[in-house]
């Protein structure tokens, strides 16, 4: 986002001040972090992912908020419609719910005999709904889905240990701000793991399918620019991703003793060797 804003003519310290607060996956810290930002009297707030957007929405109805991105902004109550958001919130949606069925089809191609799917969730308020979507998609391909919860990053090892004890065949990780330790924890427990967020494959995740994340932040930067130039969030249509990426990490597959079928590799937009 900073690079895009630089390209749009902004320079930190001259005509732009960036103040960043990161909960590092601990959503209980978000209200305090938001109050810290409000005390700085920002012109615009960029909120990454639904938990942060929800906290920002509760904190202010006057300061413009840019979603970067949101999973289901209408059902979450952030906007009235994609075409006319109607309040102080606009930005980008990610369509993670719409990609789940295809992801499960890919899982079936790779894990032909798999029966038990673990779905890893956090305290993200969109996860119960996304779990139901994943559960129904799994049932259609003959798999049962179980819910495993890691509210905070330090809970990941416990969640994967529970998966191991439950004899799951593969884990599906719902979208959240990235927890960098997650791929290593999955590998440590020998559990093949598929992600909604595609940056995980660069960190050692086995596979991912979802919207290309970087363009979403580029879009968000353009919303910031328009707002700083006098634009009104209520009248700025919410954008959705146009590019989706299926990525496979063959190094991780080898470490897990897996062979990815050639038909699946042919489908991949990115293969890490």
Question: Would strands 207-211 and 244-249 be described as parallel, antiparallel, or unpaired?
Answer: antiparallel
Model pLDDT, residue 95: 87
CA distance 145 to 134: 7
Token code pair at residue 134: 């994943």
Nearest to 194 by CA among 98, 263, 103: 103
Rounded to the nearest 5°, which phi and psi values hold at 67?
Answer: -75, 135
- Helix and strand totals (H; E) in the chain: 10, 10
pTM of the full structure: 0.90
Longest dimension (CA), the chain: 59
**Mean pLDDT for the chain overall:** 95
Question: Among all chains, which residue has been given the structure tokens 């615009």?
Answer: 44
| pLDDT at residue 98, rounded to an integer | 87
What are the Cα distances from residue 16, in Å, to 19, 75, 236?
10, 33, 22
Q: How many CB atoms lie within 10 A of CB 83?
A: 11
pLDDT under 50 in the chain at which residues?
none
Tell me what pLDDT residue 193 has. 97
pLDDT at position 117 is: 98
Q: Which residues, 6+ apart, have CB-to-CB distance to 190 below 8 Å?
A: 164, 256
179 in Cβ contact with 25 (< 8 Å):
yes
Q: Are 233 and 85 in contact (CB under 8 A)?
A: yes
Q: What are the Cα distances from residue 139, in Å, to 46, 121, 132?
A: 37, 18, 11
């Amino acid at each position: 986002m900073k690079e895009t804003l630089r390209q749009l003519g902004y320079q930190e310290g001259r005509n732009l001040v960036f103040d960043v607060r990161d909960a590092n996956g601990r959503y209980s810290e978000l209200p305090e972090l938001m109050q810290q930002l409000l005390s700085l009297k920002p012109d615009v707030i960029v909120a990454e992912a639904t938990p942060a957007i929800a906290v920002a929405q509760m904190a202010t109805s006057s300061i413009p908020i840019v979603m970067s991105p949101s999973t289901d902004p209408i059902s979450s109550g952030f906007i009235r419609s994609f075409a006319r958001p109607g309040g102080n919130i606009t930005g980008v949606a990610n369509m993670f719910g719409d990609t789940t069925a295809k992801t499960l089809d890919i899982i079936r191609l790779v894990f032909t005999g798999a029966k038990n799917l673990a779905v890893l969730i956090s305290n993200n308020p969109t996860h119960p709904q996304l779990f139901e979507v994943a559960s129904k998609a799994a049932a259609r391909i003959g798999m049962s889905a179980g819910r495993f919860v890691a509210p905070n990053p330090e809970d990941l090892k416990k969640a994967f240990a529970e998966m191991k004890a439950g004899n799951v065949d593969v884990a599906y990780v719902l979208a959240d701000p990235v927890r960098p330790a997650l791929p290593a924890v999955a590998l440590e427990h020998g559990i093949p793991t598929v992600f909604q967020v595609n940056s995980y494959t660069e960190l050692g995740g086995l596979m991912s399918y979802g919207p290309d994340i970087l363009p979403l932040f580029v879009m968000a930067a353009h919303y910031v620019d328009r707002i700083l130039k006098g634009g009104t969030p209520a009248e700025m249509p919410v954008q959705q991703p146009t590019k989706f990426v299926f990525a496979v990490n063959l190094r991780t597959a080898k470490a897990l003793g897996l062979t990815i079928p050639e038909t699946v590799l042919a489908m991949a937009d990115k293969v890490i060797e």
